[in-house]
Structure 1
Amino acid sequence: MEGLRPGDPSAIAGYRLLGRLGAGGMGVVYLGRTDSGELAAVKVTLSDQSDDPDFRARFRREVEAARRVSSPWAVPVAAADPDAPEPWLATAFVPGPSLAEAVAAHGPLPPRGARILGAAVARALAAVHAAGLVHRDVKPGNVLLALDGPRLIDFGIARPADGTALTAADMVVGTPGFLAPEQAEARGSEIGPPSDVFALACLLAYAVTGRLPFGRGAVDALLYRTVHDDPDLGGVDDGLAELLTACLAKDPGRRPTAAEVAERLAEDTPPGGTAWLPPEVVRTIAERSARMLALPDIEPTHAGEPEPAPRPVARRRALLAGGGTLLAAGAGAALWAVLRDEGDASAGAPPRRKKWAIGVQADLSGPQKELGIEQERGARLAVEAFNTRPDRPFSLHLAAADDAGDETRALAAARRLADDREVAAVLGSTGDYTTQAVLPVYEEAALPLMTVSAGLNLLTSKPSRSFMQACPGHPETAAQLAYVLQNFYRQLKRPVARPGVLQDRTDDQYAWQYAAMINHMLGSRYGHRTHPRVVPASVGDYARVVREMVDAGIDAYVHAGGAGSAAQAARALRAAGFDGPLLAGPRVLGREFLELAGDAADGWVVGAPVADPSRKPAAKPFAAAYRKRYGRAPGHYAGESFDAISMMIGQLVRTVRDGGTPGRGALADSVRRGRYKGIMGEYRFKPERGQLDGLGTCLYVAEGGRFRYLADAPAEDPGRLRKA
Structure 2
Amino acid sequence: MSERLLPTDPASIGGHRLLARLGAGGMGVVYLGRTEAGALAAVKVIQAEYAHEPDFRARFRREVETARRVTSPWAVPVTGADPDADEPWLATAFVPGPSLEEAVARHGPLPTRSVRVLGRMLAAALREVHAAGLVHRDVKPANVLLAVDGPRLIDFGIARATDETAITSADMVVGTPGFLSPEQAEARGAEVGPASDIFSLGCLLAYAASGRPPFGTGTVDALLYRTVHDEPDLAGIEAGEDTEGVELLTLLRLCLAKDPADRPTAEQFGTVLLIEDTVPEGEQIDWLPEDVVRVIADRSAEMLALPDIEPTVADADASAEAPDDAEPASPGRRRLLLASGAALLMAGGGAAAWAVLRDDDPPGASAPRARRWAIGLQADLSGPQRTAGKAQEQGARLAIEQFNSRKNKPFELTLKPVDDGGSAGRAPGAAKRLIDDADVLAVLGPTSDDTANAVLSTYDEALLPLLCVSAGGLLLTQQQYRSFVHCRPSDSYLAFPLGVYLMKQEGTRRAGLLQDRTGRTYAQETASITNMMLRRLGRPAYPRVVPADTDDLEPVIADMLRSGIGSFVYAGYAQGAARVAKELVTVGFDGPRITSQAVIDPAFLEQAGDAAEGWMLTSSFIDPSAVPAAEAFTAAFRKRFGAAPGYYAAEAYDAVNLVLQELVKAAKATKGGRPPGRKELVGLLRKSRYKGITKEFSFRPEDGTFAGWGVSLYQVEDGRFRFVGEAPSKV
Q: Shorter-chain TM-score: what band?
A: 0.5 to 0.7
Aligned to 1:375: 392
Q: Specify whether residues 563 and 118 from structure 1 end up closer, same or farther in structure 2 by C-alpha distance, changes over 3 A only.
A: same
Aligned to 2:57: 116
8 A Cα contact 2:380 2:419, kept in partner: yes
Matched position secondary structure for 1:596: helix
How far, CA to CA, are the matches of 2:511 and 2:696 in structure 1? 34
Match of 2:691 among 677, 683, 687: 677
8 A Cα contact 2:428 2:455, kept in partner: yes
- 1:432 counterpart = 2:449: yes
- 1:340 counterpart = 2:295: no
Matched position secondary structure for 1:394: coil
Aligned to 1:574: 585
Matches within 5 A, 1:76-95: none
How far, CA to CA, are the matches of 1:408 and 1:242 in structure 2? 30
- 1:165 counterpart = 2:105: yes
Match of 2:86 among 119, 136, 148: 148
TM-score by length of 1: 0.61
Partner deviation per Cα, 1:345-391 (whole Å, 9 max, x = no partner): 49546943521222222233444333222222111111221222233
Aligned residues, how many? 533
Match of 1:500 among 512, 516, 523: 512
The Cα of 1:662 is off from its aligned counterpart by: 4.0
- 1:690 counterpart = 2:704: yes
Aligned to 2:621: 610
Match of 2:546 among 524, 532, 535: 535
Match of 2:600 among 562, 568, 589: 589
Aligned to 1:518: 530
Match of 2:657 among 646, 652, 655: 646
8 A Cα contact 1:700 1:708, kept in partner: yes
The Cα of 1:624 is off from its aligned counterpart by: 0.6
How far, CA to CA, are the matches of 1:486 and 1:182 in structure 2? 31
How far, CA to CA, are the matches of 1:243 and 1:405 in structure 2? 41
The Cα of 1:634 is off from its aligned counterpart by: 1.7
Q: Specify whether residues 94 and 237 from structure 1 end up closer, same or farther in structure 2 by C-alpha distance, changes over 3 A only.
A: farther
Match of 1:509 among 521, 539, 542: 521
Q: Specify whether residues 180 and 376 from structure 1 end up closer, same or farther in structure 2 by C-alpha distance, changes over 3 A only.
A: same
8 A Cα contact 2:624 2:630, kept in partner: yes
Q: Which amino acid aligns with 2:357?
A: D
Partner deviation per Cα, 1:18-77 (whole Å, 9 max, x = no partner): xxxxxxxx79x99x997x998487868xxxxxxxxxxxxxxxxx88x64xx343x3259x
How far, CA to CA, are the matches of 1:482 and 1:242 in structure 2? 53
Q: Specify whether residues 364 and 574 from structure 1 end up closer, same or farther in structure 2 by C-alpha distance, changes over 3 A only.
A: farther
8 A Cα contact 1:99 1:143, kept in partner: no
Matches within 5 A, 1:88-487: 116=57, 118-119=59-60, 140=78, 147-151=85-89, 165-170=105-110, 197=138, 219=150, 238-239=164-165, 251-252=180-181, 254=183, 299=331, 340-342=356-358, 344-345=360-361, 347-348=363-364, 351-487=368-504
Q: Which amino acid aligns with 1:453?
A: S
The Cα of 1:613 is off from its aligned counterpart by: 2.1
TM-score by length of 2: 0.60
Matched position secondary structure for 1:371: helix
The CA RMSD measured in Å over matched residues stands at 5.4
Residues 539-548 or 465-474, more deviating: 539-548
Q: Which amino acid aligns with 2:512?
A: G
Q: Which amino acid aligns with 1:526?
A: L
Q: Specify whether residues 441 and 716 from structure 1 end up closer, same or farther in structure 2 by C-alpha distance, changes over 3 A only.
A: same
8 A Cα contact 2:518 2:548, kept in partner: yes
Matched position secondary structure for 1:708: strand
- 1:74 counterpart = 2:29: yes
Matched position secondary structure for 1:406: coil
Matched position secondary structure for 2:489: coil
How far, CA to CA, are the matches of 1:162 and 1:696 in structure 2? 44
Task: List gaps (5 residues or longer) in structure 2.
Answer: 44-52, 65-73, 128-134, 190-308, 317-327, 334-344, 346-350
The Cα of 1:649 is off from its aligned counterpart by: 2.6
8 A Cα contact 1:582 1:604, kept in partner: yes
Q: Specify whether residues 94 and 583 from structure 1 end up closer, same or farther in structure 2 by C-alpha distance, changes over 3 A only.
A: closer
How far, CA to CA, are the matches of 1:182 and 1:506 in structure 2? 13
- 1:716 counterpart = 2:716: no
Q: Which amino acid aligns with 1:150?
A: P
Q: Specify whether residues 408 and 540 from structure 1 end up closer, same or farther in structure 2 by C-alpha distance, changes over 3 A only.
A: farther
Matched position secondary structure for 1:691: coil
Partner deviation per Cα, 1:562-597 (whole Å, 9 max, x = no partner): 111111111111122110101010111232222222
How far, CA to CA, are the matches of 2:657 and 2:124 in structure 1? 51
Q: Which amino acid aligns with 1:387?
A: N
Q: Specify whether residues 450 and 256 from structure 1 end up closer, same or farther in structure 2 by C-alpha distance, changes over 3 A only.
A: farther
Matches within 5 A, 1:623-642: 623-642=634-653
Q: Specify whether residues 433 and 95 from structure 1 end up closer, same or farther in structure 2 by C-alpha distance, changes over 3 A only.
A: closer
Residues 497-506 or 392-401, more deviating: 392-401
Q: Which amino acid aligns with 1:411?
A: P
The Cα of 1:513 is off from its aligned counterpart by: 0.7
Matches within 5 A, 1:53-68: 66=24
Structure number with greater CO (CA < 8 Å, separation at least 6) is 1
How far, CA to CA, are the matches of 2:520 and 2:418 in structure 1? 26
How far, CA to CA, are the matches of 2:181 and 2:680 in structure 1? 50
Residues 152-161 or 507-516, more deviating: 152-161
How far, CA to CA, are the matches of 1:94 and 1:693 in structure 2? 28
How far, CA to CA, are the matches of 1:552 and 1:692 in structure 2? 38
The Cα of 1:636 is off from its aligned counterpart by: 2.0
Q: Specify whether residues 232 and 165 from structure 1 end up closer, same or farther in structure 2 by C-alpha distance, changes over 3 A only.
A: same
How far, CA to CA, are the matches of 2:363 and 2:450 in structure 1? 41
Between the aligned residues of both structures, percent identity stands at: 36
8 A Cα contact 1:563 1:587, kept in partner: yes
Partner deviation per Cα, 1:657-688 (whole Å, 9 max, x = no partner): 42345432121210111211222232111111
How far, CA to CA, are the matches of 1:691 and 1:674 in structure 2? 12
How far, CA to CA, are the matches of 2:641 and 2:569 in structure 1? 35
Match of 1:562 among 565, 573, 596: 573
